[in-house]
Amino acid sequence: MKHNTRFTLFSHIILIVLIGIALFQVALLFILSGKSAGEIATNPMLPSLPFRWENFERAWDLGIQNYMGNSIILSLSIVGGDILLSVVTAYVFARYKFPGKGFLFGMVLALMMVPGILTLVPRYLLIRDLKLLDTFWAVILPAVLGSNSFQIIVMRTFFQSLPEELFEAARIDGAGHSQILFKIMLPLSIPIVSSMAILRFNGAWNDLIWPLLVLNRDELRPVSVGLVMLSSGAGAPEIGVQMAGSVIASIPMVVIFIVGMRSFIDGLSAGAIKL
Amino acid sequence: MTDISASSGESAGRSEPLRRIHQLSLWQRIWKNRLLYLLLAPTILGMVVFQYYPALQAFWGSFHSWDGRRARFIGLFNYQFFLEDPRLLQSWANILLLLVFNLISLSFPLMVAYLIYRLPNPRHRYIYRVLVVLPVIAPGFVFIVLWRWLFSLDGGINLILRTLGVDSQVVWLGNSNTALGSLMFMGFPWVEAFTVLIFLAGFIAIPGEMIDAAMVDGATGWQRFRRIELPMVQGQLKVLVILTFIGTVQDFGRALFMTRGGPGFSTMVPGLRMYYAFTQENAYGYASAIGVILFFVILILTLINQRLIRGSED
């Protein structure tokens, strides 16, 4: 048993050091956001007073305000559309037999092997030809339509594991698809569906290259593009202001963490993801 | 033949409704399920329009000189041009280094997940699990901004070194000896929440009896890990290795926003070459050819991975 206590102590040390370094980087964003350039030069890593809230005002006025609004509209539209379509698709594939099912599901699976980099150029041209450049649709449509293979596969696996008797009883009682989906399936699938929703939100919020390509007008840009552009080049504001912008850009994920992280962790821990 | 099936269909139709369903023609079965097809239509059509069509067009475009409006067939010239590009060798070497490095760095989340799983106190396990996930509150692009500053001349890393008494004047991203290493170091200690949680889920799913049996047989801690626990998370490992392949081969965001591929070609990767061909040179056919090559690289790596990890199971 002595060996085990030593192993546990060793585990605690490694975990605290590694996770601590990761967490310190997040803390550093906040620490730096409260400093002036001079304070950063003399004391870059530790918090100092007074906390310079004016950095936040400055960042907000430099366009972060507008970028945040854009990001929220884009990300919520993408999550809503994607999850709705993924749930419906996964439901059909999980619970029904019909001609062509194998082929159609194969189409979903095969897309896991089609990397974004292969389709990048033609997708851009498609958006251009649809006259959607410099509109929010340029970001929303390709994100909602056709890029949800992963979510469909994970949710289908989970939906298949639910007992068939539930569905049969509902069908005998004359329930339609929407009732079966929203009254039986979804309440039982909250952890997995919300995990997928959180992952999708995080992905949409983080997306950088695609919006940079299709949104040229500054007033349409999401905060990912806006912040990275703002901090590039000679005219960039001082580090404290850049970090204040970074902290503002983190707020939505903080909210999601507080509200939904428990079900997120439980969903991913359910072990649905393996080959 | 037709007689028999027709008559049996009719007689069975009255007594056994289930048998009749099996004898509906293909079209009747499709019509019967029309609502299901309607429910699938947005996803499937979306995939055709925004994935399959662009993928095919990329293949088509790779054989053409193409400015996005007019295209002229030039055979394999784009491929030849890419393979003869002097910048190419460096960019493949870089991607290979990044790939090896990213695969090795998977051992960090693996270790963190394993250590959490082995903790005896469930309360501690839960706390660490939350702490591992906590950094997701800061979006990835924020770390581009942070690490650009950390690596700069008067940035965090040099400031720390100077307080430690080393007069460091290294511009980490602006020096061809340190740029690629710096890009790899970014994100240290690489304990990404998603990866840790997936490994952890795998470890937790291992049946307790299996471990007990091994311990009774006198397995050491290392044997227990190597012979039982590691093989039991092979499914998860396989997924994460594939995701690492796909992510690394395609990724050019870091190189684009941190170093622009430089200095010189020291951090150039094929994906970034493609991006520049596309955005700066309007060479859409050439960019498509690079996309196609990267697609095959990912495909081959994935197939090798399937073989290798399955092979080690025996």
pLDDT for B127-177, tens place per residue? Answer: 999 999 899 899 999 999 999 999 988 888 888 888 888 888 888 988 888
pLDDT-derived band at B39 (thresholds 50, 70, 90) equals very high
- Percent of chain B past pLDDT 90, that is, above it, reads 42
Residue B4 has pLDDT above 50, yes or no: no
Residue A268 has pLDDT above 80, yes or no: no
Query: What one-character-per-residue DSSP string does B45-101 give?
Result: HHHIIIIIHHHHHHHHHHTEEE-SS-EEE-TTHHHHHHHT-HHHHHHHHHHHHHHHH
Instruction: Find out whether the peptide bond into A222 is cis, omega within 30 degrees of 0.
Output: no
Task: Write out chain A residues lying below 8 Å of B258, CB-based.
Answer: none
Q: Is the pLDDT of residue A163 over 70?
A: yes
Record the tokens describing residue A232, joined without a space.
């590039």
pLDDT in tens, B285-294: 999 999 999 9
Q: What is the pLDDT of residues A120-160, one digit of tens each?
A: 999 999 999 999 999 999 999 999 998 899 999 989 988 88
Partner residue facing B142 (CB), from A99, A232, A249? A249
Six token digits for residue B109: 């989340």
Average pLDDT over residues B198-218: 86
Judged by phi (left if over 0) then psi (alpha if -120 to 50, else beta), residue B191 lies in: beta
Angular region, A188: left φ>0, alpha ψ -120 to 50, beta rest: alpha
Kindly tell me if the per-residue pLDDT of A221 is higher than 50: yes
Chain A residues with CB inside 8 Å of B272's CB?
A: none
ipTM field: 0.88
Question: Rounded to an integer, what distance in angstroms lies between the CA atom of residue B55 and that of residue A107?
Answer: 13
Q: Could you tell me which of A253, A201, A247 has the C-alpha nearest to residue A64? A: A247
Residue B81 pLDDT grade (very low, low, confident, very high; cuts 50, 70, 90): confident
pLDDT digits (tens, 9 = 90+) for A70-113: 999 999 999 999 999 999 999 999 988 899 999 999 999 999 88
* pLDDT for res A190: 85
Mean pLDDT of A53-61: 89
Nearest to B286 by CA among B296, B275, B297: B275
DSSP β-bridge partners for residue B66: B71
Q: Which chain A residue shows the shortest CA-CA distance from B290?
A: A118
Residue B2: pLDDT over 70 = no
Task: For residue B15, name the pLDDT band (cuts at 50, 70, 90).
Answer: very low
Q: Which residues of B touch A213 (CB under 8 A)?
A: 279
Burial class (CB in 10 A: 0-12, 13-18, 19+), A39: middle
DSSP sequence for B212-248? HHHHHTT--HHHIIIIIIHHHTHHHHHHHHHHHHHHH
- A window 215-274, beta carbon within 8 A of B: 224, 227-228, 231-232, 239, 242-243, 245-246, 249-250, 253-254, 257, 261, 264-265, 268-271, 273-274
Q: What is the mean pLDDT of residues A201-221?
A: 93
Q: Which residues is B168 bridged to in the sheet?
A: none
* A187 neighbors A159 (Cβ within 8 angstroms): no
> What is the domain partition of chain A in residue ranges?
34-269
In this model, does residue B5 exceed pLDDT 50? no
What is the predicted pLDDT for the residue at B309? Answer: 66
- The DSSP result for B109-144, as a single string, is HHHHHHHHHH-S-HHHHHHHHHHHHGGGGS-HHHHH
Burial of A49 (0-12, 13-18, 19+ CB in 10 A): exposed
Contacts of A269 in chain B (CB under 8 A): 129, 197, 200-201, 204
Instruction: Tell me the average pLDDT of chain A.
Output: 88
Tokens representing residue B241 in the block: 């290795």
pLDDT tens track for B223-280: 888 888 999 898 889 889 988 988 899 999 999 999 988 788 889 999 999 999 899 9
Question: How crowded is residue A5: how many other Cβ atoms within 10 Å of its Cβ?
Answer: 10
End-to-end CA distance of chain B: 50
Least confident of A200-214, B16-30, B73-87: B16-30
Which tens digit of pLDDT belongs to each residue from A249-260?
999 999 988 887
Q: Which of A78, A117, A150 to mutate to test the interface with B (most CBs of B within 10 A)?
A: A117
H helix or E strand, kind and range, residue B202: helix B193-204
Q: Average of pLDDT values for A34-59?
A: 84
Asked if B201 and A271 come within 8 Å (Cβ–Cβ), the reply is yes
Do B160 and A261 make contact, defined as CB atoms within 8 angstroms? no
Topology of domain A34-269 in CATH is MetI-like fold (1.10.3720)
Model pLDDT, residue A151: 92
The mean predicted confidence, pLDDT, of chain B is 85
Q: Say yes or no to pLDDT of A62 above 70.
A: yes
Q: Check residues A20 and A192 and name the one with the higher pLDDT.
A: A20
pLDDT score for B311: 46
What type of residue is B269? V
Asked if the model's pLDDT at residue B123 lies above 50, the reply is yes
For residue A178, what pLDDT is reported?
A: 85
Contact present, B114 and B197 (Cβ < 8 Å): no
Whether residue A122 is preceded by a cis peptide bond, meaning omega within 30 degrees of 0, is no
**What are the start-end ranges of the H helices in A114-163?**
116-129, 137-144, 149-160
| A99 in B contact zone (CB under 8 Å) | yes
Alpha carbon of B81: minimum distance to chain A alpha carbons (Å): 18
Domains of chain B: 1-32 (no CATH), 84-311 (1.10.3720.10)
CA distance A211 to chain B (A): 13
